[in-house]
Amino acid sequence: MNGRPPRRPSAYGAAGVDIDAQERALGGIKELVRSTATPGVLSELGSFGGLFRPALAGYREPVLVSSADGVGTKLVVARMARDYSTVGRDLVNHCVNDILVQGAKPLFFLDYVGAGVLEEEVMVQLVGGVAAGCRENGCALLGGETAEMPGFYQPHDYELVGFIVGVVDRPLLVDGSRVTAGDQLIGLPSAGLHTNGYSLARRALFEIAGLDLDSRLEGDPRTLREVLLTPHLSYLGALAPVLADPGLHALAHVTGGGLTDNLPRVLPRGLSARIERGSWRVPLEFLAIQRWAEVADHEMYRVFNMGIGMVAVVAPDASERLLEKIAAAGVGAVAIIGSVATGCEPVVYA
């Protein structure tokens, strides 16, 4: 017989992996990736490895700072809402903050998307959010990985993980070594839950309270869809102007573990953070979660950020100056939330 043999059904497709769908999805995100390119990018999406040449002029001792993180079960809320457009921004901002606390500014970013069954529209939303976050923070989305893993992830399950690399001049590293008793704690407000505590939040609001994504908390005009999908804030713009200030002694990104576990990470041994709980307004969503799930105060402050997304530890004679500079960035209601003292307890709430 002449002509081509009949095309057989894909054996890999029958096993649950659609290579063609992956190729179509990648085609849809190439422009998103290109939109994040910075002058250091030397490669195109599709290379085995991303190439980046950092501009190091002006650095005396450049130090690379890297971090990796995910967005946790916030993805469950995105799945409930069928809206994955914001969680990519969450991911980038979270990772940017994690290296920012050591004084580093981002250079490039890599992402990993895992799925049970790859949906092209969802893939574009996820990577579109990552690309938006990269553009807003001035870093390049240099590459990533997409894995369709049926039997490991279930249909409509997605995993989103990010990897970031930034740079700081070694003399300007912010490592907490200069923190002393008497230093002041400047709290920068969060935009809500950010990317932590969603398992407890979903249990409290949906399982116990019986609310849904279109419900509104008393006193809050937003729907729970809006509340729970509000992106994690990046503090790069607010803190970049003060990173070289000698009055800045440490920074703590308030993520999983809350103030209770994150502040001690930047305090020298023998020092304690004294937190004045009435010095800022706790957002309504945290109060609702605590009420519905009957969560003790000490656990709330260890699970959630409680409205404080970043803490700057500053010299007392620099606190007013730095407070004004940070507030000028328009991040919201910045306030002195406590101080550093000697003590055995890492964090004490008053």
How many CB atoms within 10 Å of residue 277?
Answer: 14
Does residue 333 share a domain with residue 228?
yes
**Mean pLDDT in residue range 181-199:** 97
CB 296, CB 226: distance < 8 Å:
no
Q: What is the pLDDT of residue 204?
A: 98
* 111 domain-assigned: yes
pLDDT band at 1; cut points 50, 70, 90: very low
* 6 domain-assigned: no
Does residue 192 share a domain with residue 165?
no
Does residue 155 share a domain with residue 211?
no
Of 31, 54, 311, 102, which Cα lies nearest the Cα of 190?
A: 311
CB neighbour burial string for 62-91, b if at least 16 within 10 angstroms, e if fewer: ebebebebbbbbbbbbbbbbeebbbbbbbb
Which of 172, 200, 222 is where one domain is finished?
172
Which of 122, 145, 172 is where one domain is finished?
172
> pLDDT tens digit string along 71-122?
999 999 999 999 999 999 999 999 999 999 999 999 999 999 999 998 999 9
Does residue 281 share a domain with residue 202?
yes
Does residue 343 share a domain with residue 209?
yes
pLDDT above 60 for 197 = yes
Q: What is the pLDDT of residue 95?
A: 98
Does residue 167 share a domain with residue 190?
no
Does residue 160 share a domain with residue 242?
no
User: How many Å apart are CA 276 and CA 39, to the nearest integer?
Assistant: 45
* 83 domain-assigned: yes
CB 67, CB 61: distance < 8 Å:
no
Q: What is the pLDDT of residue 6?
A: 58
User: How many Å apart are CA 157 and CA 32, to the nearest integer?
Assistant: 23
Burial, 327: exposed, middle or buried (Cβ in 10 Å; 0-12, 13-18, 19+)?
A: middle
pLDDT band at 30; cut points 50, 70, 90: confident
Does residue 164 share a domain with residue 23?
yes
User: How many Å apart are CA 98 and CA 70, to the nearest integer?
Assistant: 12
pLDDT band at 9; cut points 50, 70, 90: low
Q: Which residue has the higher pLDDT, 218 or 6?
A: 218
Q: What CATH number does residue 90 fall under? A: 3.30.1330.10
Domain extent, residue 167, equals 15-172
> pLDDT tens digit string along 235-286?
999 999 999 999 999 999 999 999 999 999 999 999 999 999 999 999 999 9
Share of the chain above pLDDT 90, in %: 86
Q: How many structural domains comprise the chain?
A: 2
Does residue 261 share a domain with residue 130?
no
